[in-house]
Structure formats: C-alpha cells, structure tokens
Amino acid sequence: MSAPLQDKVALVAGATRGAGRGIAVELGAAGATVYVTGRTTRARRSEYDRPETIEDTADLVTAAGGKGVAVPTDHLDRKQVRALVDRIADEQGRLDVLVNDIWGGEKLFEWDTPLWEHDLDNGLRLLKLAVETHAVTSHHALPLLLRNPGGLVVEVTDGTADYNAENYRVNFFYDLAKASVLRMAFALGHELGPRGATAVALTPGWLRSELMLDVYGVREENWRDALERVPHFAISETPHYVGRAVAALAADADVARWNGQSLSSGGLAQVYGFTDVDGSRPDAWRYLVEVQDAGKPADTTGYR
C-alpha cells in the first residue's frame, strides 16, 4: 500500500502555495494524478506578486511519486473552470478527489477593522475569491466526480465549526468567508451523500505557509527562531500535515463516516496516525482553546 491512491485522479483548486501545495504534493506521494490550478505561472504572476507557481507545485507532485498537471485557471471565470473539468474528463475520464482551496484574500482584509470602516471593494472581492470560486468549481466538477462511487470533496477553510461558532475571526469579511466554506461542506454532504460521495470541511492549524514564514522573517529550516517574538507559533505545522490529512481521507474506504463534518489536520492525525514532517502531531485547535485563548504561557507539551 505504498501508493494507495494509484489510479486515482484529484483536482486541487488553488494549489500555487500554502495548504493547496501541501495537499497536492501529499496526494502525489500517495500515487495520485493531481491537477493543480492557480493564477500564478512561470510566465505570469497574479496580484499576489509572489514567486510560487503552479508549475512548481506540479513538479513537486511528480517528484513525490504522483503525476502533477498544472492548469492555469481563474476560478471566477466559468469558462476557464468548465474547460479545466472538460480537460480532466477527456484525459482521465474520472475525478475522484476535489479539493477547493481557493482563497487569495491575504492582501484584501484588514485585521480587527469593523465592516463600516473596512474597504468595501476589498471585502467584497475577498468574498468572491473565497466563496464564489468554490461554488463555481463544484458546480462544474461534481458531475464528473459523481461518475464513479466513492468521490471525495474537501472544502478547505480556517477554523473548525465549533471554534468559529464561538470566536470572531479577524473581521466581518474574513469571518463570513470561513463560516461560508464550513457551511458549503455541510450542504454538499446532504447533496452528495445519497449519491455515493462524501464532502467534508477541513482546516489546517497554524500553517507555516510560504507567506507566514516571510511575515516572521524565517525559513522552514529555522522557523523556531520566530518563537521569541511569537511564542505560540510553537504549535504551527507545515502544509504537508493537512496534505497528509487529505491523503488519509482519500484512501479511507469508510470515508463516508465523515460526510458533512468539520475536521482538522490535528484531529485526523489522532485517527489515522500520520505525522507532520518532523514526526510530531500538532493539535492546534485544541491548543488554541486550552492554552493560547486561555491566556496561558506557550507550552506545546501534550499538544504535539
């Protein structure tokens, strides 16, 4: 079972960097053919103006043992999304895993800024990127996914349903976007379950994405250097951790038991037994409630 997803086909929508890249690579490591999409290519950058590209992600998927296929796609453009799905249907004849990780909002939201003071255009753009893109992609991709029983849809968000129900998240637009994605998985669970497929919402913990590492002025190799300034960053995890969560779900013959539920990388690690790349199992959302939000000093003992 070194390649439990061999002969499986996945689409990771929003795989240029961060969680999407980690998910794509770990699906590849499990043997899947993975179509990776985004707006930044080696020829053209999105407004993020960052160096990561979908071609780089596809190469990492292939190097991990799968087959990576990069397809430049703006998921707000229905024609592009339809063409993407048509290409997968023509080339593979199936789609087994759909991961909606499209986001693109880091430069659009203003921390702790109330609705009436927040830039309205940026807030509405954030909602389009974080919510409408998921709906457009699922609308076009789900008929292909439903051709075969056992399909899996993963809606990637920030925060579990329990945590977000009790906690205000950043600002009005961010809070609404992340809650909407959680609800998407719940609704899709009702629509897909009777048709032989499964939908879940999945959140990583405190993600050491490329952007987050840059914010703290560190690299993955020396990320702990940031702990003096941000002690609770000790609970953070690599994008591979949530990637391994998706790979575990996709390989689980009984994945339907999770249908419609809100899941976390740390929670699933306790069930499936996978670890982060350093061999630890960070449980960030339990840590946030019991340590960080409780005002206790940073101490990951018992949480990773």
Q: How many domains does the chain have?
A: 1
In a domain, 3, yes or no: no
Q: In this structure, is residue 43 part of a structural domain? A: yes
Residue at 289 is within a domain: no
Tens of pLDDT, residues 16-47? 999 999 999 999 999 999 999 999 999 999 88
* Residues 75/14, Cβ–Cβ less than 8 Å: yes
* DSSP states along 177-220: HHHHHHHHHHHHHHHHGGGT-EEEEEE-SSB--HHHHHHTT--G
Round to whole Å and give the CA distance between 281 and 179. 25
**Which residues have C-beta within 8 Å of that of residue 1, sequence separation ≥ 6?**
none
Encode pLDDT of 6-21 as tens digits: 999 999 999 999 999 9
**Is residue 99 situated within a structural domain?**
yes
Residue 293 included in any domain: no
pLDDT in tens, 70-118: 999 999 999 999 999 999 999 999 999 999 999 988 889 898 899 999 9
- Does 100 reside within a domain? yes
37 phi/psi in degrees, rounded to 5: -125, 160
- Domain annotation covers residue 298: no
Q: Record the tokens describing residue 100, joined without a space.
A: 């909606």
Tell me, yes or no, if the pTM score tops 0.75: yes
Domain coverage including residue 75: 9-209+238-283
Cα first-last separation, the chain? 27
Could you give the CA distance from residue 102 to residue 105 in angstroms, rounded to a whole number?
A: 9
| Domain containing residue 115: CATH number | 3.40.50.720
Torsion, Cα of 100, 104, 105, 107 (10° steps): 160
In single-letter form, the type of residue at position 178 comes to: K
